[in-house]
Chains A and B, each alone.
Chain A
């Protein structure tokens, strides 16, 4: 019984970790890299990041041929 409970707990933890990693990997962000090798990562919600992400979304839409309707409103 104890062994089954331990296995269930381990499997649950692994599944939760997998979901967390997948979600954190997909979170919108903007990374800026500099000539000196340094980098700044701005998460969605930051005003500067949101501006860049909005442009990036328009660029992706344009590249895929979708109508970038939001462009007209910006």
Chain B
């Protein structure tokens, strides 16, 4: 699945996500849910900045590799999930369902990784009903919450 389609599906299934971008760690924008290019670039730049700050902060802790970040502010929350060279960042309202948003972002990253079996499976099914299945799965998970 290409990055743009994965982000479009993400925005369709997760009503909590106001917008999201898929970026490389160097800040290169790969895909965005924002129609405005300037806004996409600005969000991508801030996402890169947040990732760098989080990595600096985590380096001081001496822990394993940083995988996810949640920055919760009164104006809204920023979620960031990284996987190798790529990261997806999303903005939500101020009281998101944290586990559900992280789950959706990880799924989005996995589906856009050409090396994963999930991505291969998505390609094989050629997207027929993909969005509908994703929406049904999401609704089941939301009911379980």
Contact = CB atoms under 8 A, between A and B. Distances in A.
A65 B78 CA distance: 15
B69 A32 contact: yes
B64 A34 contact: yes
A32 B65 contact: no
Interface string A22-52: 0001111111111110101010000010011
A26 B49 contact: no
A36 B63 contact: yes
B127 interface: no
Contacts of B75: 57, 60-61
Contact of A52 (B18, B43, B57, B74): B57
Most B-side CB within 10 Å, residue of A30, A57, A68: A30
A26 B77 CA distance: 10
A31 B69 CA distance: 6
B73 interface: yes
Nearest to A30: B71
B58 interface: yes
B61 A40 contact: yes
17 contacts: A28-B74, A30-B54, A30-B71, A31-B71, A32-B57, A32-B58, A32-B61, A34-B58, A34-B67, A42-B57, A52-B57, A52-B71, A53-B73, A55-B49, A59-B50, A62-B42, A63-B43
Interface residues on A, range: 20 to 34
Nearest to B102: A33
Interface in B30-78: 34, 36, 39, 42-43, 46-47, 49-50, 53-54, 56-58, 60-61, 63-78
B19 A38 contact: no
B91 interface: yes
Contacts of B61: 32, 40
Q: Which 5 A-B pairs rank lowest in CB-CB distance, beginning with the nearest? A: A56-B71, A59-B46, A33-B68, A36-B64, A62-B42
A64 interface: yes
A16 B66 CA distance: 37
A69 to B, nearest CB: 13
